[in-house]
Structure 1
């Protein structure tokens, strides 16, 4: 660390740091210095002279911020007594040092005046008309006046603080002299240093940035149009209402930046096209791209608790990027080409506000007037399609199919049950039942027949006019050698037909035997030693279906185990294969002479090829152990031996 750095550090700790801690300014009043000059024109060189007796290590910061709360860095300070300000502005000089062991500081302000030439653009027309566009920046505002020398013997002075954006001048035909501008102070300060700028001019400015940014139709019939203007360029808003001709809206302006225009007296249900007509200084008319308004309406499709929305617009000259459909201010659907939407996330009794937004190339947007729609619904009709199916000894499954009007996204399907032959129906479905399928496990299907009826209540609390006609389960029982079923119709109306299903062990239908209106079926026990049956009834129109409990016929299990096999590659008797009949569950283990398991399977279809992990199993006797469950659910075992011949 050099001596100067040490001094700054010491002074910062001893004097400046306490001021920082207390939040005070570093500018004290214990120092003193003279400043020559105290004001002037850029570039300005100044000299300071220390006036503090017996002072040491006097340091200056020539561009100090009075509001800062941190110690100036070494690069911001100097012990030189002179400094040159290249740019105009208001500056503060901070002096700090020590005298008699005590730190001191002092601040003095200095004003450096602007001398640079104002910024401007000169636009020249073939007719001799020119426009000087003055840039409204800090340079121009620093002066009391801007003096324009048109170069044809005429001068003009303008006040930059009056926010005059441009000045027009006309030359005689063929004359295109250079134009000079310079700033001026009221008291003629800096006259020798003020710089002049010569403008040679360019052709008419581009008006491509004068465009409509958004069109928004309102419910009250107003259209709000936002567009980008250019200072000094007159722009008029035109409208076309479908006949192909654009007319003036009476709205115009010549202000730069984003402008807002309101066009009253429109029909929010109609579509309109808008464009801007602008005239530059050379009287050239230029039209902006067209932006069409949007129109959203209720769709023609009428569904229960579903709102249909559609939209349309007139052709734009820009490319469409996306439609956004808003519901109550939030986007619920987007598409680049769809012109309709079915909103299923609505509830009856509520009103929803929809608005369509077209997002067009170059971030242009068109908003429709919002519309309010309430979802429709109708009273639901009677439940006419249903089924009752016995699934197990203590389980009945009911299934309803809904059709017609009045169906909503949420509902309560009310289900009541009674014993067959009884009129004492009790509700068995849960509150606000939202499922068309109901599982009733509080029944005994091998002992009783049960009747069910259904009623639908939609989200608007509208119910079907009554309960459906009852559907009863069918009780199927054995009366050897016949199986018989409930003689009473499971429906209020007569049965259309009965079908007897013969099932496999997994409950799948192997064969369907039409029984017409019969209520019994004879079983050939010799040929059907293992069968399961279920009866199904249908109403005459097929809309109502009832299925009975499952009745099972099973014989004693049979397991056939070979006493030898020869896995020698001659394609005969190559695998150890067990065959079994009337078995539900099966597992087998094969042991060698040392009691090690060499083969195990839980699938009756699997066979052993005489191989073990190390290769071919040795020839000789092996022990098998079989554990099985028959079709009645009874467990039994079988053990024996067989010979593997190599």
Structure 2
């Protein structure tokens, strides 16, 4: 009984003395000397010397009478106590930053849990597992502990830390932990971000440790790093120092048991997700993609072109693809996306190249030529299968060599240097938007219309066959116009290339002609048209060589008269054989064989006529006439 009493007294004394710290001169004590902000200390007058003491808690000369004080700012403070009897005594108070420990909780098999304190903020840690088990661990290079729960369930695991001889007042880290979770890992995305780096996005079940593993091409998996999450949020990691353009890489995430030599769990591994070793070959008219990867687990493949999913849902085993739906001179960028049944996807590096198309554009086969005011206007039909950027127009004069006359961006060209006399022909080619050049067209020869005029004012028109239409000319039409440009008549001449106009027309001295070619091809509705030719018909005078002004008829023999076509003004003068003027008229009057009303004798007389035609041209004619009487 006596020994038990002594033990109880010792325990009581020990309990009182725990946590009490003496001052420098041992004149007083405090209940705590070190702790985290906010940190409260209590003054202990264990020698009963204080009576009416003054307290300077911050060591700055400010004295108070209270025996309790709270420090709010981390730092070192000299707490001074001013005694009336023994003077001043002090003690050093240390206030540490209040930072919760960085704690990782790992699930193990059979209700086991593994706790790791990841930083060394404190010298000692206290772990409360929530099932009544409390353990202390000390700062080291391996701050770990583990516990086995007798019954599965959800427990609050609290970890708090303190410095040596510090108070247990620092903010703890508390984690709600469940023993019933399943360690399933999910890879969300694998993306190539450079030729040497891949980025992996994944989701982990909280509180399990995982190992990321890699396989190069079809080799065995090797460990890369450990993964952990205490939230279950999507996370990512970048794997560097790879050769993404030379190999493909497969990844998987395996849950392991840290309580049992880091052996893998039987279930919970992610499926593998593999990158692609992608190559792009730019070919004539197509862009060819080839890639290497493991097709295991892939459900479908998408081809991304210029950031658009242009070719989705290709078969899972697709390893090559030719894109023929391209235009030339376009920079195309491609990515291959492997889709997996659980929603994971693997995105390749982007490969880019500029497309090209090499072919022979259709040559120009139907060109219509219209000659207007010494300009030749060429208009042609473009094959819609090719998009030209520029046309080249070549010209030949008088069957000479063709030379570049000009360029055009539209399917027409006007040659202001055209001359009918030059016997010009043309050829056309073009460069399409893919930099392909068409063959030159067949010669295009506008209709050149010429004429001859007989002494009797018959007009003979001649022209060349029109060249420029693939199917040729169906027929020609000749239009005739008066001086004002109004149509007089049209004549369909079939395939003839000449026409003789014998029409007697005393009204229209000046006429013009134009030839129209009508195409055999019905879709070519516009005719090819020649140059105009303007014909000035000559004035032909009609007059007798003798007349009988004796009133015995016939009436046309009673006077001397000059007539003809297209006469606007006529001046007639009659002279006798001595050159004396015996008659003059500027009113188109006839001479009746008299002078001043007196009959003139039988003789030969000289006449002159000054004629102005309706076009304004003047003529002078002369001759003799014999006056006879019966």
TM (norm. structure 2) is: 0.49
Find the structure with the greater CA-based Rg. 2
TM (norm. structure 1) is: 0.48
